[in-house]
Amino acid sequence: MDQITGDDLSPYRIFSSAEWSQLRADTPMTLSAAEVEKLRSVNDQISIEEVERIYLPLSRLLWLYVAATQQLFSATARFLGDQGNEGKVPYLIGLAGSVAVGKSTTSRLLQALLARWPTTPKVDLLTTDGFLFPNDVLRAESSLERKGFPESYDTKRLLRFLSDIKAGKRHVKAPVYSHLLYDIVAEETSEIDRPDILIVEGLNVLQYSRPAHGGRTMPFVSDFFDFTIYVDADEEQIHDWYVERFMRLRETAFRDPRSYFHRYAEMSEGEALKAANRLWGRINLPNLLENILPTRQRADLILTKGADHSIDRVALRKL
């Protein structure tokens, strides 16, 4: 009898970065080194070589998936006699992962590459930070230190937003978050107007809804996605990146007197280092272990980073 291994049972096909790069085929490079540098987040590292090796094959895969989904939508519309066709339906990509793992860089790179396909689609990017409850609400509930945990988001508002987007509605409003103020900007909104592709980036976007009383379930954010990506790295490595980023921000953005974190810029280097490690251990690590990491296996694609920030493994879910 043949022995069944763990690899046989895995729902993923695993590729080294070299193997994945071969799947680029003839996908053209449409970004310059200077453009790649502008898309890079603080303390993240990305080279144009890695864009060619990892992101161009991913761009090609998504192009094929989007085309197939459009055909499926057309087939469904024909079956329904166009009764269910409310217009263009955006293709939604969900992107999750820990704080400091490089989600923002990945999202911006994908947005730039996808928007430069020959068909020049309209590609928008939304972070779920805007759907956090305002700080005043979190303080009133004594949960400001749980910011970024699932319960700190206005999930009903986010679900309504995604439902409107997926229904092809025009001029859908989203709240705006300020990282400088560490809070929602009151009365300010951004607008998403029927994009071809929408990338939704956030810590917990791959979470699923647990059955409520009576076995009923509520839809969750991940129910609206056509394709999902998880950016992964070793826990200790992410911790190091978080602390490195914190210390760099202490010398830059935190120095702005308006910054919510301005107090850390006035600390000594040793005090700030202790504060960064304390914040990681008390808030970000528990959120990673309890809420974010358990959703990794729900992703269609897992990008795993090495110590130098480069992606050394790609896992693609089998169909």
Annotated binding residues for ATP: 97-104
Backbone angles phi, psi at 189, to 5 degrees: -135, 160
Residues annotated within the binding site are 97-104
Q: Which amino acid is at 61?
A: L
Distance, CA of 266 to CA of 159 (rounded, Å): 40
Handedness of CA 165, 171, 175, 176 (dihedral sign): positive
Contact 214, 153 (CB under 8 A): no
Q: Where are the beta strands (DSSP E) in 56-129?
A: 91-97, 123-127
Structure tokens at 234: 């070793």
Distance CA 220, CA 301 (A): 19
Which residue, chain included where needed, has tokens 């509520």? 218
Cα gap 255→71, rounded to integer Å: 51
Residue 106 φ/ψ, nearest 5 degrees = -60, -45
Rounded CA-CA distance 233/81 in Å is: 47
**Class of residue 74 by CB neighbours under 10 A (exposed 0-12, middle 13-18, buried 19+):** exposed
> Is the separation of the CB atoms in 121 and 114 below 8 Å?
yes
